[in-house]
């Protein structure tokens, strides 16, 4: 049964992919200047779904920069919200 669900839209229409707690789900959106990578996974230690969002290299271009790693809910991201 699916635990994670993703969609993507491009010139050939929309496609979907599913992932389980064991497999997680990886997505990449790329250009000639690099890519954005997203990994969704179940963090057993915290008993919740987590996300890893990063800028990454693609075809030799781009940088390796982690933008966020934490709960998908954004619970730990509250400190960055505008007040």
- Kindly report, residue by residue over 30-48, the tens digit of the pLDDT: 999 999 999 999 999 999 9
pLDDT greater at residue 45 or residue 77:
45
| Assigned domain for 63 exists | yes
Residue 48 belongs to a domain: yes
Segments of the chain assigned E as strands: 4-10, 13-19, 25-31, 34-43, 48-56, 65-71
Structural domain contains residue 81: no
Q: What is the domain range of residue 40?
A: 21-75
Is the separation of the CB atoms in 66 and 37 below 8 Å?
no
Does residue 2 lie in a domain region?
no
Say if strands 65-71 and 25-31 run parallel, antiparallel, or are unpaired: unpaired
Task: Supply the pLDDT for residue 79.
Answer: 60
| Residue 10 forms part of a structural domain | no
pLDDT band at 78 (very low <50, low <70, confident <90, very high): low
| Residue 3, in any domain of the structure | no
Which residue(s) pair with 6 in the sheet?
17
Segment 38-67 shows an average pLDDT of: 96
User: Cα separation of 14 and 36, whole Å?
Assistant: 19
State residue 80's pLDDT score: 56
SS3 74: coil
Total domain count for the chain? Answer: 1
Mean pLDDT for 17-36 is 96
């Amino acid at each position: 049964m699916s635990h994670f669900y993703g969609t993507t839209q491009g010139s050939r229409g929309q496609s979907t992919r599913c992932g389980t707690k064991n497999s997680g789900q990886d997505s990449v959106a790329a250009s000639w200047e690099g890519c954005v990578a997203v990994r969704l996974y179940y963090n057993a230690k915290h008993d919740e779904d987590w996300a890893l969002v990063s800028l990454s290299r693609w075809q030799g271009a781009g940088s390796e920069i982690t933008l966020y790693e934490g709960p998908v809910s954004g619970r730990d991201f509250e400190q960055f919200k505008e007040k």
